[in-house]
Amino acid sequence: MNKKRKYSFDVRIIVGGFLIAAVLLSGMLMLVFGIKDTYTLNKKIGNYNTTDGYFESYDIYNSDEDGITYRLTYVYEVDNKKYYVSTDYGTSYIPAENSVREFVYCRRCISDY
Question: In angstroms, what CA-CA distances link 51 with 37, 44, 54, 109?
Answer: 24, 18, 10, 15
Q: What is the mean pLDDT of the chain?
A: 84
User: Average pLDDT in the 26-46 region?
Assistant: 86
What single-letter DSSP state applies at residue 105? E
Distances (CA, A) of 76 to 3, 86, 87: 83, 11, 14
In this prediction, residue 4 carries a pLDDT of 61
Residue 20 has phi, psi (to 5 degrees) of -65, -45
Tell me: pLDDT of 113 over 50: no
pLDDT-derived band at 10 (thresholds 50, 70, 90) equals confident
Q: Count of CB atoms within 10 A of residue 57's CB? A: 14
Using the predicted structure, report yes or no on whether residue 31 has a pLDDT greater than 90.
Answer: yes
| Cα-Cα end-to-end distance for the chain | 91
pLDDT in tens, 61-96: 888 888 888 999 999 998 888 999 988 888 888 888
* 72 burial via Cβ count (<10 Å: 0-12, 13-18, 19+): buried
- Determine contact, residues 89/73, Cβ cutoff 8 Å: no
Residue 2 has pLDDT above 80, yes or no: no
φ/ψ (deg, to 5) at 81: -120, 130
